[in-house]
Structure 1
């Protein structure tokens, strides 16, 4: 029985030792173009699906049944990052790998992602965990499998951890959750993008977010979601304006605290889980991970390199996370231990 891959096993060649290069390549068009055709197999034969998020909320997704000729290994559910979608490069690549391993794959779009702006009048925000948990429950009921495993990236990793926290009480048969570079402390992450990360990261996210907000306004012209002047603000300013205008949170800080999983917030996580991040991630500071207080069934794995959701191995643009996720999902399907393999030297607690 081979050992599970660990973050320390990822040793990319120069210049991929740069966290900035890893991050920029992770969602770049050039990476999508250079990836092998096999990285898009999950799209072939995918069934577009509408999912109930409760309270008349509708979310979209895509289901792809495995075609190995063997019994399904289980159901793999994938969550994309902020302003990503079911068709984001990292989601397609991971989904395609799991499909080849014999997993049925469901890729879920969050509200207002993946051209779904017209489905729900209220805006997306990161505290809308209830509808995601409701949708996850429906997905598990519609495609019952011996094992259900969940993986999320960046903000999707944050949602995956919060969904795993709530799954037992919601009666969702979730067996395992894995979060790649999840947002831990949103207020710290927001400050990092503004103050310490290079300017082009905030410019990239703001361009995508403004485009999304304009699409929302076009879908519901009778609503006024924002003032044009607000769109010109920075990340913090626009976030605060929309929070105060469209949510019941009384302040920006209250909203950011609403989806934080920092410090001891995950102490009650009963489902086995893994958190993978990189020490050179320029978007999510590693300090928040080192301060986590986690139960024994949650594995914290901090690699030296990888950037933000990159972990790109070389010229073929494939990611180490594919092997990492597939190996852990396989261990869960085989009822082998996943999180007990962690070395105490890799765990950092206050």
Structure 2
């Protein structure tokens, strides 16, 4: 166990999970976030395979301590509160920061006709290759939250011969076994599923505004749950025959992390109601992988006090400063 000990009244897992992304917390980090956003410029990332993604890049005016690429979770964006919070802390500490939007996240639905799905690792690999070529730094870091953490770890396991340099990868509350994550959303507190259903539907409707030929408008009206949505979209818009096969395709349990090619650090909360820590023992053992667990924190919460400060922001700094 490590030293994340929030006040007793902040130890509830659901409270932690919700507080991290509230408008109240966004107001709390407002000044720091404004500094980051003022220093950031929108960047169009053009991958080798033709995929286009959007990001926001804040470069240090003087000597940079390194480039940190941050990846949001599912239905988040470069403007998600937790990404602005972490990015602000890193930027103020002297790092250049690139906040990457995944396909169909943020204002990027118009860039690619094919829908986002969680197996599209080539998007992130291609983006990292482009980013590091466009903005070269001596030291390079990658950090992802939730599904972004899952992508970050898969990147480290699939670098192969790509010209991508990573000195440290950090995954905060990563999706480990998507089958169990979907089960937790299906059978857990209804607030989480309704939240993701609403955001996913909104994203899919935005996509249709740019690509009406995708043709799922009427079907979308009848879908009420994540399970129903997966059963409809997976066989029609991915290469997988069913939802179960699709979910297992981006799981990182078993041998998925057996070929890590960069130092990786997982931070996971034992009370995470969405990406449960019970799958941590099922990860491949590897000298490049360290796992840090905390008793509290919820899902990407880690709110350390009543000022709504983030313990994760400081922990990222600690980890990156070691390199």
How do 1:181-260 residues align onto structure 2 when only pairs under 5 Å count?
181-195=173-187, 197-228=188-219, 231-260=222-251
1:58 alignment counterpart: 52
Q: Distance in 2 between matches of 1:42 and 1:164?
A: 27
In structure 1, how many angstroms separate the alpha carbons of the residues matched to 2:305 and 2:24? 13
Counterparts in 2 of 1:58 and 1:36: CA distance versus 1, 3 Å? closer
Q: Is residue 32 of structure 2 the alignment partner of residue 41 of structure 1?
A: no
Question: 1:292: how far off?
Answer: 1.7
Cα pair 1:226 1:242 within 8 Å, conserved = no
1:3-82 to 2 correspondence within 5 Å? 8-67=2-61, 69=62, 71-82=63-74
Structure 1 residues 97-246: aligned runs within 5 Å: 97-195=89-187, 197-228=188-219, 231-246=222-237
In the TM superposition, structure 1's runs of 4+ consecutive aligned residues that sit over 6 Å from their partners are none
Cα deviations by residue, 1:33-92 (Å, 9 ceiling, x for unpaired): 23351244221121110001333211000110124x4x2111110000100000111111
How far did 1:239 drift? 1.2
Q: Deviations over 1:322-343 (max 9, x none)?
A: 01001111111xxxxxxxxxxx
Tell me the C-alpha RMSD between the 2 structures.
1.4
Cα distance 1:231–1:138, how it changes in 2: closer, same or farther (>3 A)? farther
State whether residues 142 and 170 of structure 2, in contact with CA within 8 Å, keep that contact through their aligned partners in structure 1: yes
Secondary structure, in 3 states, of the residue corresponding to 2:57? strand
In structure 1, the residue corresponding to 2:122 is in which secondary structure? helix
Contact 2:157/2:258 (<8 A) preserved: no
1:212-271 deviations in Å (ceiling 9; x for gaps): 111111121233135435652311110121011111111211111111101331121121
Residue 291 of structure 1, aligned match among 278, 282, 292? 282
Distance between the aligned counterparts of 1:257 and 1:170, measured in 2? 25
- Partners of 1:108 and 1:178 in 2: how far apart? 15
Equivalent residue for 2:303, pick from 305, 312, 331: 312
Q: Which consecutive residues of structure 1, in runs of 5 or more, have no partner in the other structure?
A: 1-6, 333-350
Looking at structure 2, the residues matched to 278 and 127 of structure 1 have their Cα atoms a distance apart, in angstroms, of 24
Mapped partners of 1:326, 1:270: distance in 2: 22
TM-score by length of 2: 0.96
3-state SS of paired residue (1:210): helix
Summarize deviations over 1:148-193 as a string: whole Å, max 9, x none: 0000000000011111112242121122110000001001110111
Paired with 2:155 and 2:207, the residues of 1 have a C-alpha distance of 26
